[in-house]
Every structure is written in C-alpha cells, then in structure tokens.
Structure 1
Amino acid sequence: MKFLPSVHLPCHPWMAMVILPLLLLLVPLAAAQWSSCSKSDDYKSNSTYVANLSLLSSTLPKKAASSTTLFATSIMGNFPDIVYALTLCRGDSNASACESRVTTAFQDLLRLCPYKKNAAVYYDPCMLKFSNKNFLATTTVNDPLFIVNTKNFTTNADITQRLLFTLINSMAQLAANSLRRFTTSRLDVGSSPTLYCLMQCMPDLIPHDCESCFQDILNSTLEYLGGKQGGRVLGTRCYMRYEMYPFFQGDPKLRIINLAPHVPTINNTTTPATVYPQSQPPDAAPPPEGKVTVQEHNGPTTRWNGDCC
C-alpha cells in the first residue's frame, strides 16, 4: 500500500463545521437519509426560480441515468434566478434505479426545504444538491455532514485509529483512479473488528483532486469519528461510510488484511464539528468472499477482485 503523501493538512473552509448549524437546518429522514436547507435565500412560489427547478427536476434524473458514471451537473436559467445542480448515484447502483432515486430526491427537497434556494439531500444510494451559488466551480468546498453510530469500539484507541487510517488510506488511490471514482472494501485484521467501507468522489474531479478530498475525509474521520463502530462523512465533492456490517452491493473491491504500522500525526486544529447520530441497524451476515487476487505492497497487505468500478 502506498500511503498518501501527507495528512498534515491545513484547515479547509468546509471543515469549519461549527458554522454549519447557523447556515443550514439539518433534517434527519428515514433510513439514513439527511437533508440540509439554507435559512436564507428564499424564493417565491410563482418565481422564475421555481420554473428553473421544475425544468431541472425533469432533465437531471435522465441525464444522470444516461451517464456511464451515474453523475450529472446542470445550470438552468439566468441571474438572479439561475440554479446550479449536481447529482450522483452510488457506484453500485444501476441506471434505472438512479433515475428513479434522483426524481424522488427533487420531490423530497422541495417538500423538506420549501422555498429555499440552497438545499441538499443524501440517501444511501444517491445525493442531490442545488443552489443559486456556483458551487460547481470549486473542487475544495465540501460542506460535509458527520453522521455516527452511537456505539463505541471496544478495542483501545490506538488500534481503533490504526484501523480507520488503514481502511481509508488504503482505498483512496483505488477509488480516485477508477472510472466512477468509487470503491468498496473489507478490512480483516486478526482479532480486530471486521470493517466494511465505501468511498466515492464526484467523477468530474481529476484523481489528484479526488485524493485531496479523501485526505480531508481521513483527517476528519480520525478527529471526529475515531471511537465509533460506524460513521459517514457526507459531502458534495466526496463522501465515505464505514460500518461493522456489509451495506453495499456485491463483494468488496478491496480486501485489507494488515494494519498500517502507525498513524501519522494529524493536524487537529480544525474548528469543532457538529456530529449527528444514526440508529444502529440489525446485524447482517458478511457477504461471500468471492474470488480475489493478491497484491503485495510495502505496507499493509491488500487484496482486490478484478477491475474496480
């Protein structure tokens, strides 16, 4: 495994999570679905902004479903009623399910964030964001939501940090260099807890920018989610989820069987985050092992099955 160049990162604006509750109203939905709505920038019911949203809701789902990466962006209208939108379906989704889910996402956002020009919703299989501000122009602003399992690991803090560091750092390059910027993994290390993880960034990012986004997630995970049995960092440019049970489709693309020898020093100067709890679902049986090939690295050993994504 080749470690990422550095985890000594400066504090990015998206990590100043203490500001988020002042700007966004977080609404937990059923079955691990979350939405955020701006408190300002309202539109009127008969406005051109509504008309532009309506056009987006009829075109963006089809655009995403017709893409090989199940990803789409769009810009509709002119200032001051211009709408920027982005949607992504998870790398283990299919086209028909993607179109249906993005259509539902528009309906949910209009219901959950009525008259708000800036809104986002995250589901397990997809996400959608629209805004009157051009968030598509940047690769760094991620505005993440931190969602955690309320149960703690029973292993000691050092082992827990090494598990999470190994998990995310091992996956970053594989995900960043895949077509859908997506991969999944299973970590099996001795008597330590088995962990499953999924990572994805927006397919319009070049691999370098995708890895940079994952480095931010790595730092945030170690700082805010370290002792928890499961968690998510949900953002508009990249996201990650890990659990002690399988939650994605198919066999893991990557199997990790050795821990990193240590965790590099993390820059813990970020502004304190707001972390939201998630309910614990029933335990599930591990997925089939599948066929894997073995690749040796100068570091933790990993295994993956075939081409990724």
Structure 2
Amino acid sequence: MALRNSSFHLLFLCILAATTRASDAGGMPQLQAFDCSTADNYTATDAYAANLKQLLAALPTNTVSKNGGFFNGRVGQGAATVYGLALCSVDFSRSDCKDCLTTASSSSGGLLKICPGSVNVSAILDQCLLRYSNRNFFRTAQTGM
C-alpha cells in the first residue's frame, strides 16, 4: 500500500511541476548564464557590427520558422564575418523561443547591451540559447561557459 501511495505522490508532483512550468512559459525570457569576450572587441562603426546586427535580426525567423528550432550561419566575409548559432528549448513553444531570440538580439536590452563590443558571446536563456563569434566555432565543442 505504501508503494502505491508513493507512486501516486510522485505522479502528482510530476503533473504539478509540468503544470507550473507550462504556466510560466509565457513569461519574459530569463537570462541564466552568459559569457562575453573582453579582447579584440569591435566598435559601432566596424563592418563586424553591421554584420552582427544583420545576423541577430534574422535569427528569430531563421531559427523558429525555417529550421525547426535550430540555426547556424554566418554573415560577412573575411575578418568581419560573424558566425552565429541559436537553439530553442524543447520545454517551450516556438512562439516563446521566437520571443526569447528577439529579446536576446534586441539592441535596446539584449546581448548587445549586456556585452557591448564583444566579438565572442554565449548566452543561455530559459527559452533559448544564442552564440556568436568572429571565429568559426561550428563543429567545435564548448565545454564551459
């Protein structure tokens, strides 16, 4: 009998946790962790800055609408190339992920404000993940934040 009650309580807690998580899903994305470079930074007039803004503007649509929740790509050529990657959390809707990427990539309150001038940025939000760099990091594991 105790096992049956324990199973019921575990099931109840799982349902409660899922319900609570679903009710929180519509909220503003919360920044969980981030890393900003401090060397080789760019200025607002650099070609890198223009390419970064172009990449960040395209990320929400490219990630959610065109690629099923994942995107990696680049903008620019030579030293001004920006490599970017975005990933949606499976715990949230595509709409929540699009909102998350839009917030993270906005110039008024997103990563450009949190990490001004940084060429290498990694950010984990509760609803999405975003990374950009002046170096091609595709097929290279990042083991820390």
Amino acid at match of 1:111: K
- Report if the CA contact (8 A) 1:76-1:83 is conserved: yes
The residue type paired with residue 85 of structure 1 is G
What is aligned with 1:294? none
After TM superposition, the score normalised by the length of structure 1 is 0.35
- What's the CA shift for 1:31? 4.9
What secondary structure is seen at the aligned counterpart in 2 of 1:127?
strand
Amino acid at match of 1:109: L
Partner of 1:121: 123
| Distance in 1, Cα, partners of 2:59 & 2:125 | 17
Matched, 1:69 2:71: no
Distance change >3 Å, CA 82–CA 31, structure 1 → 2: closer
Instruction: Report what 2:43 is aligned to.
Output: 44
Measured after TM superposition, the shift of residue 93 of structure 1 is 2.1
Distance 2:143 2:41 in 1: 20
Greater per-residue helix proportion: 2
Between the aligned partners of 1:70 and 1:95, the Cα distance in structure 2 is 7
Q: Using the TM superposition, give the Cα deviation of residue 89 of structure 1 relative to its aligned residue in structure 2, in angstroms.
A: 0.8
- Please report how far the alpha carbon of residue 83 of structure 1 lies from its aligned counterpart in structure 2 after TM superposition: 0.2
Contact 2:43 2:49 (C-alpha < 8 Å) held by counterparts: yes
Task: State the Cα RMSD in Å.
Answer: 1.8
Structure 1 residues 68 and 80: alpha-carbon distance in aligned structure 2, compared to 1, 3 A threshold: closer
Task: State the distance in 1 between where 2:60 and 2:38 align.
Answer: 26
Contact 2:69/2:87 (<8 A) preserved: yes
- Displacement, 1:131? 0.0
In structure 1, how many angstroms separate the alpha carbons of the residues matched to 2:126 and 2:98?
Answer: 15
CA-to-partner distance for each residue in 1:147-187, whole Å, 9 max, x for gaps? xxxxxxxxxxxxxxxxxxxxxxxxxxxxxxxxxxxxxxxxx
Note the 1:172-183 alignment, pairs <5 A: none
Give the percent of matched residue pairs that are identical in Structure 1 and Structure 2: 34
**Aligned mate of 1:131, from 119, 130, 133:** 133
* Aligned-pair CA distance for 1:99: 1.3
Equivalent AA in structure 2 for residue 61 of structure 1: P
Classify the secondary structure of the residue corresponding to 1:115.
Answer: coil
In structure 2, C-alpha distance between the alignment counterparts of 1:93 and 1:68, rounded to whole Å: 16
**Structure 2 CA distance for partners of 1:58 and 1:113, relative to 1, 3 Å:** same
4+ aligned runs moved over 4 Å, structure 1: none
Conservation of the 8 A alpha-carbon contact between 1:84 and 1:132: yes
Give yes or no for contact 1:77–1:83 (8 Å, CA) kept in 2: yes
Are the aligned partners of 1:69 and 1:91 in contact in 2 as well (CA < 8 Å)? Answer: no
TM-score of the pair, normalised by structure 2: 0.72
Look up the equivalent residue of 2:49 and give its one-letter code: V
SS in 2 for 1:135: coil
Do the aligned residues in 2 keep the contact of 1:60 with 1:74 (CA within 8 Å)?
no
In 2, are the aligned partners of 1:37 and 1:116 still within 8 Å (CA)? yes
Q: Looking at both structures, which has the greater relative contact order when contacts are Cα pairs under 8 Å and sequence separation is at least 6?
A: 2
Check 1:103–1:31 CA distance in 2 against 1; reply closer, same or farther (3 A cut): closer
The alignment covers a number of residue pairs equal to 114
Aligned-partner SS, 2:44? coil
* In structure 2, C-alpha distance between the alignment counterparts of 1:31 and 1:99, rounded to whole Å: 14
CA distance 1:86–1:31, change in 2 (3 Å): closer
Structure 2 spans left out of the alignment, 5+ residues:
1-28
Alignment partner, residue 144 of structure 1: 144
Deviation at 1:144, TM superposition (A): 2.0
Give structure 1 stretches of 5+ with no counterpart: 1-29, 146-309
Amino acid at match of 2:65: S
